[in-house]
Amino acid sequence: MIRLISGLLFLCVTVSATAALQTEEIDYAVGDTQFQGYLAYDDDTEGERPGVLVVHEWWGHNEYARKRAEMLARMGYTAFALDMYGKGKVADHPEDAKSFMTALMSDMSAARERFDRALGILKDHDTVDADQTAAIGYCMGGGLVLYMAAEGKDLDGVISYHGSLGLVSKADPQPGDVQARVLVFTGGADNFVPMEQVQDFVGTMRQAQAQYALHSYPGVKHSFTNPEADRFAEEFGMPVAYDKHADEHSWRHTGVFLDNLFSE
């Protein structure tokens, strides 16, 4: 299927995983760079519904990000797993992931433009109520959704899972800047997000008078929502680990947060 959005030509390949779940791969451009996102929605849900962006880990737009989009779709939302690196740019080694992430973070204006383009695609979809949107992110993506919220992005809420909390201070939000409600899940034993970073984040949120909540899981390491984390730890010696309790607990509270966010 071919679609025209905001003057750009999009090639969408629709695949039905079940009778209700519909998915689309959406090719799009930001400047001269090509990207590919993944949109999921449940066609048993009638009319427009809230839209949720999914921002991937530092590995890039992979199957894990797509899985989360499908999980959101089954909850009744339209979800769009965006692409922050470029079509096909997915890392298999942490050194490559670090290189991709460093290049992205070195130009936050470009990161902002890529985020905005994806948000526009989500809002323009026929199933989405453009006045009701949120964003969730993992690892690098968790830091990015918090940064976008701190800059005053037009979102109802954002959720970060084992995200880099240090990005928020770079946005330097002032009272009234953070319009989105913020929910953070972090690991108490996360070497990438030490307690000092958590404390700085809390201080920044309080200074900005933001509506936020933070849950820290004692003894839990980085990447606790990703079942692949144990393999990463064994193969690359990374200080990461999957935690079933933290994963399931954070997802249950994600459902409650989104339900409350969009029911008001």
User: pLDDT, tens digit, for every residue of 224-234?
Assistant: 999 999 999 99
Cβ-count burial 41-69 (b if 16+ within 10 Å, e if not): bbeebeeebbbbbbbbbbbbbbebbbbbb
Domains along the chain with CATH numbers: 44-263 (3.40.50.1820)
Report the alpha-carbon distance of residue 105 to residue 147 in Å, rounded. Answer: 11
| Per-residue confidence (pLDDT) for residue 233, from 0 to 100 | 97
Per the CB < 8 A criterion, the answer to whether 95 and 126 are in contact is no
* This prediction's pTM: 0.92
Report the alpha-carbon distance of residue 23 to residue 8 in Å, rounded. Answer: 20
pLDDT tens for each residue of 34-62:
999 999 999 888 889 999 999 999 999 99
Average pLDDT taken over every residue of the chain: 93
Give the largest CA-CA distance in the chain.
49
Per the CB < 8 A criterion, the answer to whether 187 and 246 are in contact is yes
Contacts of 202 (CB under 8 A, 6+ apart): 214
Contacts of 160 (CB under 8 A, 6+ apart): 136, 137, 142, 143, 145, 146, 182, 183, 184, 185, 186
pLDDT tens for each residue of 87-97:
999 999 999 99
Question: Following CA atoms 84, 85, 87, 91 in sequence, which dihedral angle do they give, to the nearest 10 degrees?
Answer: -120
| pLDDT over 80 (residue 184) | yes
Per the CB < 8 A criterion, the answer to whether 55 and 138 are in contact is yes
* Residue whose token pair is 């936020």: 212
pLDDT tens for each residue of 66-117:
999 999 999 999 999 999 999 999 999 999 999 999 999 999 999 999 999 9
Two tokens, residue 154? 């037009």
Report the alpha-carbon distance of residue 118 to residue 65 in Å, rounded. Answer: 14
